[in-house]
Amino acid sequence: MLTRIDHIGIACFDLDKTVEFYRSTYGFEVFHSEINEEQGVREAMLKINDTSDGGASYLQLLEPTREDSAVGKWLAKNGEGVHHIAFGTADVDADAADIRGKGVRVLYDEPRTGSMGSRITFLHPKDCHGVLTELVTSAAEH
């Protein structure tokens, strides 16, 4: 069962400049940052608030580390902006299987490692009214 909006992913050309904008404009601070070599991104998670299920909601700022990464290709085509929405779940495997059973394409056969040690998968945007959708089980939940 999906429990919350885990994060909104925002693609950017310059992570440091974008972090500074969100810090100086809204007061959001970096909660976590990392480089995900598999996905070809450098990212910063800005914590917005805690949630009633023990999780949190974040903005995830994504800068590609290589042009051929999914985010790099997306930026080249679309420019900066909202890249995806992610919903939190206690069981990404079960929810992905349930959603797949409803005819929505799940992009990974097996969930992969995401931010902060989470387990993630994505749903095809063409099956989700044009929105790239991520399912996330936080590291604390698995």
Among 7, 39, 63, 83, the one annotated catalytic: 7
DSSP string of 28-50, one letter each residue? --EEEEEEETTTTEEEEEEEEEE
d(CA 72, CA 59): 18
Among 39, 60, 63, 83, the one annotated catalytic: 60
Token pair, residue 37, equals 């070599």
Based on the residue annotation, tell me whether 141 is a catalytic residue of this protein: no
Based on the residue annotation, tell me whether 20 is a catalytic residue of this protein: no
Among 39, 43, 63, 83, the one annotated catalytic: 43
Based on the residue annotation, tell me whether 32 is a catalytic residue of this protein: no
Among 38, 67, 134, 141, the one annotated catalytic: 134
Among candidate residues 98, 97, 138, the one with its CA nearest the CA of residue 119: 138
Among 39, 63, 83, 84, the one annotated catalytic: 84
Which residue in the block uniquely carries the two structure tokens 């805690």?
50
Based on the residue annotation, tell me whether 60 is a catalytic residue of this protein: yes
Based on the residue annotation, tell me whether 38 is a catalytic residue of this protein: no
Catalytic residues: 7, 43, 60, 84, 134
